[in-house]
Amino acid sequence: MAKIALVTDSTTNIPKELSKGHDIHVVPSVIIWGAETLRDGVDIQPDEFYKRLATSKEKPTTSQPTPAAFKEKFEELGGSGFTDIVCSFVSSKFSGTLTSAEQAKGMVTGVNIHIIDGRSASLGTGWPLLEAAKAIKAGKSAEDCVKIIESALTHTGVMLYVDTLEYLHRGGRIGGASRFMGTALSVKPILEVQDGALEATERVRTKSKALERIVELLAERVAGRTPLHLGVLHANAAEDAKALMAEASKRLSPAESTLTEVSPAVGVHIGPGVVGFAFMAGYK
């Protein structure tokens, strides 16, 4: 009988209460901070990251996991008796993570490795992985899991209120949001992941209006689609995230919800003060 493991990268950041009991394995992204090389979520956690970001004269950068890191993880899983490994990673438009995994796949024998472009970020990638995890427990095959992830991805979305575009611009992840750069000081942007890239949705004049509007946009995106699996994301903005969770839960009654801080590797590129939603709606 096939024994199947799921592998993702640390930017997916599935909360422990959701991943508990599932074979979901994480290969960390890398944060480069001066002379230090830190594994995302292993050597540095969100609280420490944002405290340091606020005072550090040096600005961190990131790097995708190396092919060697993936090779080590794949061989470890193969040696533990897994016959199949199903991988889904942050969008290939955001990171070279998928390329590293593909390179590692060519170095490993004795285990079947299936690699998917998650075409999203954070729980936009994570919710479909959790569906695959449930399918594994129900006795589904690795091929079934690939189909489930691909199908569930079409039911997901990520939208963010961004306090400043500075970090996205500096890190080269700004995508279609670049058209807001000229007015970034006078507006509060709302951005969405579309086709694996970050695109501009709306400009709102104040933070309070932006937080109201992002809930309205979420309601528009998920209208009539149930069940709703809802993740409220934040980058050092827990109180705003709690307020969004309360309002979205009241309006939309999600079947499942979680509040999570994005990983430090994501924080490098979006900066502090970001809040938003990662959802999966209408997937059954």
* Three-state DSSP string of 4-30: EEEEEEHHHCCCHHHHCCCCEEEECCE
pLDDT in tens, 197-231: 989 899 888 899 999 999 999 999 999 999 999 99
156-281 matches 4-29+64-153 in CATH topology: no
Q: 53 or 172: whose pLDDT is higher?
A: 53
pLDDT at 165: 78
Mean pLDDT check: name the lowest of 20-29, 130-139, 177-186.
177-186
Copy the structure tokens of residue 61.
Answer: 């950068």
Per-residue pLDDT at 175 exceeds 80: no
Whether a cis peptide bond, with omega within 30° of 0, leads into 227 is yes
Answer yes or no: is pLDDT of 134 > 60: yes
**Closest C-alpha to 129, from 260, 263, 12:** 12
CATH of domain 4-29+64-153: 3.40.50.10170
| Alpha helices, DSSP H, located in 26-174 | 46-55, 67-79, 97-105, 123-137, 142-153, 166-171
Query: How confident is the model at residue 176, as a pLDDT?
Result: 47
Q: 97-105 and 67-79 helices cross at what angle (nearest 10)?
A: 50
Average pLDDT for 138-167: 94
Pairwise pLDDT comparison (48 vs 178), residue with the higher score: 48
What is the reported pLDDT for 203?
Answer: 87
Please report the pLDDT score of residue 140 as a whole number: 97
Q: Distance between CA 27 and CA 270 in Å, rounded? A: 21
**pLDDT of amino acid 1:** 75
How high is the mean pLDDT of the chain?
93
Q: Is the pLDDT of residue 178 over 80?
A: no
- Domain ranges (residues) in the chain: 4-29+64-153, 156-281
- The reply to whether CATH 3.40.50.740 applies to domain 156-281 is no
Rounded average pLDDT over 97-122: 98
Mean pLDDT within 35-63: 95
